[in-house]
Amino acid sequence: MTSIAPAARPRIAAIDIARGVAIVAMIIYHFSWDLAFLGFVNFDPTQSLPWVIFQKSIVGTFIFLTGVSLVLGHGETIRWRPFGRRFAMILGAALFISAGTYAFNPSTFVYFGVLHAIALFSLLGLAFLSAPLVLILALATVLIGLQFFVQSPLFGEKLWSWIGLWDAPPPTEDLVPIFPWFGVTLLGIAAARWALATRVRPANPTDLSGAPAQPDADPAEVSSVATRIARYKGTSAPARALAKLGRWSLVIYVLHQPILIGILMGLASLTGISETRRAENFLASCQSSCIQTAPDAAYCTAYCACTLDSIEADNLWPMLESPQRTPEQDIALSDLTNQCAAQVLDEMLVTPQAE
């Protein structure tokens, strides 16, 4: 999220701007997720392919820049003191995220999200700052590609899910495992080292015939790709704003979601929209499932209405919406639905006789 380099070193505006763009994009994604979670919109960004791609590209940008920042901050000589300070900041922020999300929802709390991954990948990435580029690229290919060939239920358990390679991910709001994401960090390391090593000559002016109008540039004028990028100052107002956001991306990342969710929860409480949307979604889902097994619209309407009334009367929403329920909770829900089914059938049988 933030450069590993200490503040004493000159910052590269292009890197800060890229990080600023990523943090703005993440705020947009989280705002959309919050709207869906609280019922303001009947839409789930986690189930929409364009939004999933959008979210993955945001994570990929932060992870890629982690590798770039390692190279720019250290080169081939690890500067342990500033690294330790920055590592402690990122790890502390990651633990804060874990504690906050656990308090919000223990069953889906973030135990290895973006910040946890950046902390670990920064540490692991130190071993590759002077490794051969061929080795780095080969390992990155394996880390990114192996998930398409190796999958196991073992890695779907929370204890091992931070590795990746699962057949189905465990319930959590954010999970950035080693496979494939450390491969993206390695790509960032390789790209930064290539940019530092690749030399570019200034283009020679040509006449209309295409022949050079002057001799080749002086060797002293030859500069690396990284130097060319570093010369970009980003003086426009949008660029300066994005660069500033990029410099404060760690603080913004930690604070923006509690602020967003707090404001929206207040609005939801005032308008009652969450309860209304939740009930509407439940009825739609219930009737869709019911009609597949009992093709009687009147029965399904009455059955789902009875079930919803029971859930609201006993305040069973937390149990119903939990991604993982105990066997006792499953039995309780099964008893509730069976009672509603029996009640609706009895009413449908009695009503014709009364007429």
> Counting runs of H as helices and runs of E as strands, what totals does the chain give?
13, 2
What pLDDT score was predicted for residue 86? 95
Structure-token pair, residue 124: 């692991």
**pLDDT band with cut points at 50, 70 and 90 for residue 55:** very high
Task: Give 147-186 pLDDT, tens digit per residue.
Answer: 999 999 999 899 999 999 999 889 899 999 999 999 999 9
Q: Taking all residues of the chain, what is their mean pLDDT, rounded to a whole number?
A: 86
CB-CB contact of 69 with 101 (8 Å)? no
Cis peptide before 106 (omega within 30 of 0): no
Task: Provide the percentage of residues in the chain whose pLDDT is more than 90.
Answer: 51
Residue of higher predicted confidence among 2 and 248: 248
Q: Residue 4 pLDDT > 50, yes or no? A: no
- Kindly report the backbone phi and psi dihedral angles of residue 112, in degrees, each rounded to the nearest multiple of 5, phi listed first: -155, 70
What pLDDT score was predicted for residue 278? 78
**pLDDT band with cut points at 50, 70 and 90 for residue 351:** low
Task: Provide the percentage of residues in the chain whose pLDDT is more than 70.
Answer: 88
Mean pLDDT confidence for 5-28: 83
**pLDDT band with cut points at 50, 70 and 90 for residue 5:** very low
E strands present in 39-120 = none
Task: Give 283-304 pLDDT, tens digit per residue.
Answer: 888 888 888 887 688 889 888 9
What pLDDT score was predicted for residue 354? 45
Answering whether pTM is above 0.75, one says yes
CA-based torsion, 221, 223, 228, 233: positive or negative: negative
What pLDDT score was predicted for residue 200? 61
3-class DSSP assignment, residue 160: coil
Q: Kindly list the domain boundaries of the chain, sorted by start residue.
A: 13-204+217-264, 272-354
